[in-house]
């Protein structure tokens, strides 16, 4: 059961970080600082004034940037490396005393999960930016914030349930990516076949 809880922490926080890294770090820091719930000792690394302050400040910047069409896409592009690296760090931070091999595996898993969530968010935002109205950006941004906060609280409170939820979402992301990739390949192939000789 401890292994499932650890994987729940690793996957839940990595998935949340792929959508909004700064909110995820701020949640961990604030929960640890104010003692809202008992955290595993390894999460004490987030209980630092500088870490909490920086995470909150960057979350506020992201909160505003996420509401503006095309600015959100530029912000996401900048975070294409930052979020997966943050997800890998959060996954490793969820571990207690394990071998370097396990740390590397969990780090790669966390980074991959965060990258998948980030790319899904980025693709969804690109589609929303093609629509002429700004409401979809606001709705998506607020839904993402709610998702990150909800998943963060679930991961802290019920890590086994977070493991199940994160696993289901990861499977959906893989299926979604497969469908989109096949559609893009079909379209690309059709375009090449229709090109004049």
Contact by Cβ (8 Å): 32, 43:
yes
Least confident of 21-25, 38-42, 77-81, 120-124: 38-42
Residue 197 in this model has a pLDDT that exceeds 60:
no
- Between 1 and 28, residue with greater pLDDT: 28
The pTM for the full model equals 0.87
Residue 103 has a CB neighbour count (10 Å cut-off) of 13
Q: Residues 153-182: pLDDT tens digits? A: 999 999 999 999 999 999 998 888 777 777
- Between 5 and 196, residue with greater pLDDT: 5
Rounded to 10°, the helix 2-34/159-194 angle is 100
Give the C-alpha separation, 69 to 147, whole Å.
20
- How buried is residue 5: exposed, middle or buried, by Cβ count under 10 Å (0-12/13-18/19+)? middle
Rounded to 10°, the helix 100-129/71-93 angle is 160
Residue from 16, 190, 171, 15 nearest 179 by CA: 171
Residue 123 has a CB neighbour count (10 Å cut-off) of 14
* Ordered DSSP codes for the chain: -HHHHHHHHHHHHHHHHHHHHHHHHHHHHHHHHHTSSPPPGGGGGG--HHHHHHHHHHHHHHHHHTTSTTHHHHHHHHHHHHHHHHHHHHHHHT--S--HHHHHHHHHHHHHHHHHHHHHHHHHHHHHHTSS-SHHHHHHHHHHHHHHHHHHHHHHH-HHHHHHHHHHHHHHHHHHHHHHHHHHHHHHHHHHHHS--
Q: Residues 39-60: pLDDT tens digits? A: 778 888 899 999 999 999 999 9
């Amino acid at each position: 059961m401890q292994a499932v809880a650890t994987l729940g922490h690793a996957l839940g926080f990595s998935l949340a970080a792929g959508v909004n890294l700064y909110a995820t770090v701020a949640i961990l820091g604030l929960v640890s600082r104010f003692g809202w719930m008992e955290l595993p000792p390894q999460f004490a690394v987030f209980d630092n004034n500088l870490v909490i302050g920086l995470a909150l400040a960057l979350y506020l910047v992201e909160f505003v940037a996420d509401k503006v069409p095309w600015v959100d896409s530029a912000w996401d592009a900048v975070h294409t490396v930052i979020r997966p690296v943050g997800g890998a760090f959060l996954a490793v931070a969820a571990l207690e005393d394990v071998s370097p091999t396990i740390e590397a595996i969990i780090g790669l898993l966390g980074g991959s999960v965060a990258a998948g969530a980030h790319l899904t968010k980025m693709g969804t935002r690109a589609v929303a930016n093609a629509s002429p109205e700004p409401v979809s950006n606001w709705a998506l941004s607020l839904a993402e914030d709610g998702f990150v906060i909800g998943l963060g609280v679930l991961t802290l409170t019920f890590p086994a349930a977070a493991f199940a939820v994160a696993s289901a979402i990861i499977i959906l992301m893989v299926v979604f990516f497969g469908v989109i990739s096949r559609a893009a390949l079909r379209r690309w192939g059709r375009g090449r076949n229709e090109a004049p000789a």
